[in-house]
Amino acid sequence: MKISIIVPIYNAEKYLPECLDSILSQTYNNFELILINDGSTDGSEQICKIYVEKDSRIKYFHQKNGTANRAREMGVKKSIGERIMFVDADDTIEQNALQILINNSLDIDIVIAELDIRWKSKFYGEMSAEQYVSLLLKRKMNPGPVAKLFKREFFEGNIFDIPSKIIVGEDLIMNVRLAQNANRVKSIKDCIYHYRQVEESISHRKYWNLFDVLDIYKCLKNSISKKNKEKLKWALRFSLFYNLKWAIASRIRIRTRIKKFLGE
């Protein structure tokens, strides 16, 4: 089974070689590596071109700077694999990551492995798509796109049709939409993904406000199928209040930084 690994890239020259080396050293060889340069202004493009010359499994594309969401969308369109995996350009994966995911994918629509950060799953084993969405909304499972293996056909439709003003929160929306097409989801304990927290990344620069939170809530609510809206009502509300908490924390961080700058 062929896996398409999609890597959105924006000014990632510092860590990109390490990321690509970890992918190319996989014990499972039946994959293609799709590199999407999202308008980088550093040396990322040169690094990509060097790696393209090294390995025929790599495909490289460039687009104007947009969002990671749009870069992933282009990656899916350019890919041919039966399964899709996303890796961020400043992260790395274990050498046997693909093999572990494939071994757990028989008759499974979405496989979720562990990362080496705070998003530790609160449930392992098989679950329904409804259970999976509930865990996502309650932040009891990694809400990001990485350390997961998706069936390709789930990316049909409006998966990436997310308002450009939503930057923080787009990953959760994508995951919720993908789950609407799934029947069987499996969470495993294997840690296959090493996340690097880079302060310059979009998610660390962006400060939430009330309008961000409401936009995310509306988008999440509209992404859930009618049959599950009532069942997931409380999980949606939990997500709303969780994001409100982060919006308040963002305001506090802004004030702290201003005071520090002013020497108060």
What's the pLDDT tens digit per position in 222-252? 888 877 788 888 888 888 887 787 677 666 6
Q: What is the pLDDT of residue 202?
A: 42
Tokens 């510092």, located at residue: 14
Instruction: Please give the structure tokens belonging to residue 24.
Output: 């190319």
Amino acid at 49: K
Answer whether residue 264 is part of any domain.
no
Q: What is the pLDDT of residue 256?
A: 62
Answer whether residue 35 is part of any domain.
yes
CATH code, 150 = 3.90.550.10
Answer whether residue 155 is part of any domain.
yes
Q: What is the pLDDT of residue 111?
A: 97
In total, how many domains does the chain have?
Answer: 1
Instruction: Please give the structure tokens belonging to residue 230.
Output: 């009532």
Answer whether residue 122 is part of any domain.
yes
Position 195 confidence tier, pLDDT thresholds 50, 70, 90:
very high
Answer whether residue 216 is part of any domain.
no
Amino acid at 149: L
pTM: 0.87
Answer whether residue 243 is part of any domain.
no
Query: Which residues form the domain of 78?
Result: 3-204
Whether 67 has a pLDDT exceeding 80, the answer reads: yes
How far are the Cα atoms of 93, 151, 190 from residue 1, in angstroms, in the given order? Answer: 19, 11, 20
How far are the Cα atoms of 10, 145, 235, 254 from residue 187, in angstroms, in the given order? Answer: 30, 14, 19, 37
Answer whether residue 192 is part of any domain.
yes
Percentage with pLDDT > 90 across the chain: 59
Answer whether residue 210 is part of any domain.
no
Would you say 5 and 39 are in contact if contact means Cβ atoms under 8 Å apart? Answer: no
User: What burial letters (b/e) apply to 179-205, b meaning 16+ CB within 10 Å?
Assistant: bbbbeebbbbebbbbbbbebeebeeee
DSSP SS3 for 45:
helix
Instruction: List, for residues 139-180, the tens digit of each pLDDT value.
Output: 888 888 999 999 999 998 889 988 777 777 789 999 999 998
What's the CA gap between 146 and 257, in Å, rounded? 31
